[in-house]
Structure 1
Amino acid sequence: MTSLRNRIAGFMILAIATVIVLASLVAMQMMQRPLPETAIIPVARQIAWNVRFAQADPQAAADAGIAFADAPAAGLPQDRSTQRWSRVLARQGMDLPLAVSADPAGTTLRISVDLGDRWAVLPLPDLRPPRGGWRIFGAWMALIVAGATVVSLIAATRITGPLRILESAVDRIGRDGVLVPIPETGLPETQATARALNHLSARLKSAMESRMRLVAAAGHDLRTPMTRMRLRAEFVEDDEERGKWLADLAELDAIADSAIRLVRDQVAQGDTQDLRLDRLVADVAQELDAQGYAVAVGPLAPLTVAADPLSLKRAVRNLLINAATHGKAARVALSRNADRAALLIEDEGPGIPEPLMERAFEPFFRVDEARRKALPGAGLGMAIARQIIEQSGGQVLLENLRPHGLRQRVVLPLR
C-alpha cells in the first residue's frame, strides 16, 4: 500500500469501520439485556401470580392452561437461570423450590415450581442474548468493510485522478523529450490537469525549437565570416603564423559543424529500422582503425536493435573516438543482457572524477581545460552520442575502472 490512492482508500476504510464498530458495540451493550423493571420483574410477578392461582384452585389453573406434573419438566438443566429466578421470585414473596430447563435445542425455556404434591410447569421467556451473536456481528462488520472498501476505492480514484495523469504523462514522454498530447476528457479536475500539461508541453516544445533554430542559425552564420578569414589567412606571409590562423579557423569550423549536427539530429530523426548492432560496431571499428585510432574489437554477439543506422553509427563512432583519443586505446565488446544489448567501450586513460561524471555529456565539456588545445574535437561528441542513443530508447552509463581507465556502457533494447 505505497500509492497515494491506496493510502487514501485505506484511511477511509479504517475510519468508516472504526465508527461502525464503536456504534455497533454501544448499541449491543445497550440492547444486550432488557432493564429489570421492564422485563424480568413483570415476568416474575406473572409467574408468582400463576403459582398462587395453581395453589388456590388447581382445577381452574389447569383449565386456564397451567400444566402440572409429578416431576420437573424434562430437558437440559439451567443451573444459573434456576438460581437467578429463585432470587427474583423470592423478592416477590414466592419462596418455593423451582427448576429451569431447556429443550435439547436450547431454544425453549420452562420453569417448574414445586407445589408440594405436584409441580407447576410454566413457559419462561428467553431473555438471553441471541445465539451466534458474535458470528452475526462478524458478518455485519464484513459487510460494512466490503461496502466501505468499494466506496473508498471509488472516492480515492476520483481524488487521485490528476496525479495518475501526471504519472501517465511522464511515462508517455517521447524520445524527443516532448510530452505526448493527453486527451482532455473525464472529470473536471482531470480535464484541467490534462489541459495544463498539454499547454506546458506546447510551450516546452516551442522553447526547444526556438533554441535549436538559434543554435543552428548561429552555426550557419559563422560559416561566412570564417570563410573570409580563411581567405585572408592564406595571404599571411609568415608560414608559422598562417598555420596558427588556419588551425584556429579549423577548430571554429568543427565547433560550428558539430553544433549544427547536434540540432539537426535532435530535430530531424531518421527512419528507424532493424539493424545488426554487431556488424555496425565492427564497421565503425574497422573505419577508425584505418584512420589511425587504436581500437581493439572483442566478442561481438549477433544482436539486432531498432534505430536510425546513420545516427547510431555516428553515436558509436563518437564514443570510440572519445575512448581512443582521451584513453589512449579503446576496447569494444557486445553482449546480451536479458532483453537488452550491452555495448562496452573501455579505455586506459585517467578516467573522469566522480563529481564530474554526469557533466561529461554536457556540450563543450572538458575534464581538463588545459588539454583543450592538445586534443582535437569540439567537445560535442559525447552530447551527440547520448542524444542519439536516448532517442533510440537506450542509455549511456559511465564508470571508472581500477586502477585507471573508463568504461562506457551503452544499453539498447533488442528487437
Structure 2
Amino acid sequence: MISLRNRLGALLLLAIVCVVALATLAASVILRNPLSETVLRPMAQQIQLLARLVEQNPQAAVAAGVQLQTSSAQGVPDPELGLVLQREVAAIGPARALSVVRASPDTPLSVSVDLGPRGVLVVPLQDIRPPPGGWLVFVIWMILIVAGATCVSLVAAIRFTRPLQIIHDAVERIGADGDLPVIPESGPLEMRMTARSLNRLSTRLKAATESRMRLVAAAGHDLRTPMTRLRLRVEFLPEEERRKWLSDLDELSAIADSAIKLVHEEVGHEQDPTCMVDLGDIVTTLRNELVTLGLDIRLASKTATENQTGDERVPYAAEPLRMMATPLALKRALRNLMVNAATHGGGAEIVVRRFGTRALVIIHDRGPGIPESLLGQVFEPFFRVEPGRRRALPGAGLGLAISKEIIERFGGSISIANRFGGGLTQSIRLPLTLPADS
C-alpha cells in the first residue's frame, strides 16, 4: 500500500522534474538558432569591413592576414545560416554573394564572399553550435535536478503529512487503559493545532470514562443496601425458598463486588507502586494460598510430575523470570484465572516457562471446554458458558475482564483455547526485563 506521504512526494517530484525538463528543452530549442542581432550582426560587420579593405587595397589586405582565394571554400554547405548571414550583411552595407560551408564535423564554419575579379574572401565563422556532448550534459543536468527535487519533495511531503503522523503516533501510544499521553504543542501552526485537538480529545475521553466508572461504583455500592434488606426478609421465608433467594442474592453480591473491583482497578492502578517481581515466585505463592482454600491446583515441574528438587510447589522455570509490574495487580489477574480454572474447570495445572524475551504462563483445566463459536466472548463482563448453551451462571462476574485488562497494561497478552481431549488452556504472555548485558 502506497502511503499518502509517498504519493505526495512522488507528485511533487514529478511536477518539478516535468517543469525543469520542459524549460530545458525550450531553452535548447531557442538557443539552437541564436538571434542575429546578438551573434550574426558582428560577423556581418566584420565581413563588410574586410571586403572594403580588399576592394581598396588588396595587397595591404593580404599583408594584414586577409585570406583571398580564387574559389570558394569546399565543404558541406549550410544554406539556412548562409541566407540569414547574407541578410545581415545586406542590412549594413552593399549586398554580397556568400556561402557558408563546413569542411569537416570537427572544423569551424567558413564564409566565402565573392568579390568578383579580386577573388573570393574566406572568413572563418565563430562556432555557434552547442558544445559537444550536449545530450550527456543534459542527462547530468536532469540527474542533478531529480536528486534535488527528490530531497525537496521528501521534505515537503514530510512537513505536509506531519499532522497525520502525529495522529498515528498518538494512537500507537495509547495504552491498554485507554489513556493517551500528552502531545507537545510545538512546531508549525498545523502541528500545534493537531496536538491541541488530540490533547483536548484525550482529556474529554478520560473525563467521560471516569464519570462512567464512578457511576458503576455508585451503582455497586447502592445495590448493597437493598440486598441487605432482602437478606433480612429472606430469613422469614420457608427453607427451600430461602435457599433460592440466598443463591440469587449471592450472585447479585458477586456482580456488585466485581463492578467495584473493576472501578478500583481502572482508576487506582496509577497509585500502585511498580517494581521488579519474579513471576515464578508469584505463581507459587498464589497456588499455595489457593490450595489452603480447598482448590485443586497443581504446578507442573521439569518432568511434568516433579522437578530437580522433587518439590511440586516449584513451577517449571529454567531461570528466574523477572519483570516490571505492580505486584498486587499481577496477583489479582493470575488469581482470577487460577480460581476460574479450578472452580469451573474441575482443577487446574500451571506451567511457567521462558519463551525468548517473554514469560509464558499456561493454565490447563479439566473442564468440558467451551464451544468454538463462543471462545471470542469469554472476556466479556458477566459472561460464562456451559456445554451447549450460553448462560450467566451463579458467580459470574468481571474476573476474566479484569485479568485481561491488567495483563495488557503490563504489555502482555492472554488467549483461551480448547484442549485436545477436553478442557481449556489459558495462555498468558508477559514481557521480561532482560539484564543490561543481554
Alpha-carbon contact 2:248-2:394 (below 8 Å) kept: no
Q: Which deviates the most, 177-186 or 347-356?
A: 347-356
State the one-letter code of the partner of 2:75: T
Q: Which residue of 2 aligns with 1:140?
A: 141
Matched, 1:187 2:204: no
Q: Which residue of 1 aligns with 2:224?
A: 223
**Displacement of 1:390 after TM fit?**
1.8
Matched, 1:100 2:118: no
Distance 2:82 2:225 in 1: 121
Q: Which deviates the most, 27-36 or 262-271?
A: 27-36
Q: Which residue of 2 aligns with 1:214?
A: 215
Equivalent residue in structure 2 for 1:307, among 309, 313, 325: 325
Distance 2:27 2:421 in 1: 76
Alpha-carbon contact 2:359-2:430 (below 8 Å) kept: yes
Give the count of matched residue pairs.
Answer: 398
**Displacement of 1:17 after TM fit?**
0.9
| TM-score normalised per structure 1 | 0.79
Provide closer, same or farther for how the CA distance between residues 87 and 320 of structure 1 changes in structure 2, counting only shifts above 3 A: closer
1:269-280 counterparts in 2 under 5 A? 269=269, 270-280=272-282
**Displacement of 1:161 after TM fit?**
2.6
Provide closer, same or farther for how the CA distance between residues 133 and 353 of structure 1 changes in structure 2, counting only shifts above 3 A: farther
Q: Which residue of 2 aligns with 1:168?
A: 169
Give 3-state SS (helix, strand or coil) of 2:384's partner.
coil
1:224-263 counterparts in 2 under 5 A? 224-236=225-237, 238-263=238-263
Equivalent residue in structure 2 for 1:285, among 282, 287, 290: 287
**Displacement of 1:260 after TM fit?**
0.9
Q: Which residue of 2 aligns with 1:22?
A: 22
Provide closer, same or farther for how the CA distance between residues 2 and 278 of structure 1 changes in structure 2, counting only shifts above 3 A: farther
Q: Which runs of 5+ in 1 are unaligned?
A: 74-80
Distance 2:250 2:138 in 1: 88
Distance 1:247 1:268 in 2: 31
**Displacement of 1:318 after TM fit?**
1.5
Matched, 1:391 2:409: yes
Alpha-carbon contact 2:109-2:127 (below 8 Å) kept: no
Tell me how large the CA RMSD over aligned residues is.
4.1
Provide closer, same or farther for how the CA distance between residues 67 and 347 of structure 1 changes in structure 2, counting only shifts above 3 A: farther
**Displacement of 1:262 after TM fit?**
1.1
**Displacement of 1:384 after TM fit?**
0.9
Q: 1:194-225 CA distances to partner (integer Å, 9 max, x unpaired)? A: 22222221221111111111111111122222
Provide closer, same or farther for how the CA distance between residues 401 and 136 of structure 1 changes in structure 2, counting only shifts above 3 A: farther
Q: Which residue of 2 aligns with 1:76?
A: none
State the one-letter code of the partner of 2:206: K
Give 3-state SS (helix, strand or coil) of 1:411's partner.
strand
| TM-score normalised per structure 2 | 0.75
Q: Which runs of 5+ in 2 are unaligned?
A: 87-95, 302-315, 434-438
Distance 2:146 2:350 in 1: 60
Matched, 1:358 2:383: no
Q: Which deviates the most, 137-146 or 278-287?
A: 137-146
Q: 1:50-85 CA distances to partner (integer Å, 9 max, x unpaired)? A: 79987997633323422579xxx9xxxxxxx92235
State the one-letter code of the partner of 2:333: A
**Displacement of 1:21 after TM fit?**
0.9
**Displacement of 1:355 after TM fit?**
4.5
Q: Which residue of 1 aligns with 2:31?
A: 31
**Displacement of 1:89 after TM fit?**
7.3
State the one-letter code of the partner of 1:32: R
Distance 2:398 2:365 in 1: 19
Give 3-state SS (helix, strand or coil) of 2:300's partner.
strand
Matched, 1:341 2:342: no
Provide closer, same or farther for how the CA distance between residues 120 and 151 of structure 1 changes in structure 2, counting only shifts above 3 A: same
State the one-letter code of the partner of 2:348: A
Equivalent residue in structure 1 for 2:339, among 321, 326, 330: 321
**Displacement of 1:315 after TM fit?**
0.7
Q: Which residue of 1 aligns with 2:91?
A: none
Give 3-state SS (helix, strand or coil) of 1:275's partner.
strand
